[in-house]
Amino acid sequence: MIGGCLLPCSLFLYAWASYYKVHWVVPVLAEAMFACGNFMVFMAVVVYFSDVYTRHGVVASALAANTLLRYILASVFPLFSVQMFQKLGVQWAASLLGFLSIVLACMPFVFYRWGPALRKRSAYSGSMLQAEQ
């Protein structure tokens, strides 16, 4: 949850501290915040998948699907990001990413609130084993 909140904050800080008049250490600190938030979210997803998908070794498939989706997005993003930053400028392009990350920052809170109900509905979740016993 902390990492989900760090990501939008770091993107907005980077976006509006990227002027030439702002000292160079401010965008570097924003990048460090982004790296910490990204690492926290990534590790939370890996641990969440490991805890949830314990039935019949499904965790390997869940982690492979997560990795495949990340790699697909990483390969597609450069196709439009250069044009986005050229057309919008660094400030507004990074702000656009910040607004998108605000929407996605709600996901840890959604999983915290409704995660048990979602896991009970999944046929592959380990919580189904506990419900059957």
What is the pTM (predicted TM-score) of this model? 0.80
| pLDDT < 70 stretches in the chain | 56, 126-133
pLDDT of 20-38, one tens digit each? 889 999 999 999 999 999 9
Sorted by where each begins, the domain ranges of the chain are 2-127
Torsion of CA 8, 46, 111, 124, to 10 degrees: 150
112: three-class secondary structure by DSSP: helix
Which pLDDT belongs to residue 126?
Answer: 66
